[in-house]
Amino acid sequence: MSFDWAEYLCLAKHLRYRATQKDGGEADLRSAISRAYYAAFCIAKNHLASEGHDIPKRDTHKYVADQFKWDCERRGIGLELDRLRGYRQKADYDNVFSDAGDKVAFVIEGADEVITEIRRL
């Protein structure tokens, strides 16, 4: 059975909630941002593959967002994936991400919107 990538969005919401239940919770916040992005990204990537796109192994994240941006009717999906990826990169790689608590809701909401839009296609 194929993995349902939307489960990552559910996990992101759980991690965000858990972060509010303890002091700090930065690891939970960062993980929530990362998982929310990957939920949207993997659903977008699989959608493109189902349309017959040959997904490259290199620069995959850019390729997926670009395919949506180049289509006027789906441009918003690509732009949102780019924004979410920027936050995911900060969450996964930056030693200091002082506004992770402020950004987590934005990322979860954005990922949810991307997934909803893709499911409407």
Instruction: Give me the CATH number covering residue 95.
Output: 1.20.120.330
- For residue 75 the two structure tokens come to 């441009």
When pLDDT is averaged across residues 20-35 and rounded to a whole number, the result is: 88
DSSP per-residue codes, 75-102? HHHHHHHHHHHHHHHHHHH-S--TTHHH
Number of domain units in the chain: 1
Range of the domain at 37: 6-120
pTM for this entry: 0.95
Q: Is residue 27 part of a domain?
A: yes
Q: Which residues contact 37 (CB under 8 A, 6 or more apart)?
A: 84, 85, 87, 88, 107, 111
Q: What pLDDT digit, counting tens, does each position of 37-95 carry?
A: 999 999 999 999 999 999 999 999 999 999 999 999 999 999 999 999 999 999 999 99
- The span from the CA of 94 to the CA of 91, in Å, is 6
Q: Is residue 1 part of a domain?
A: no
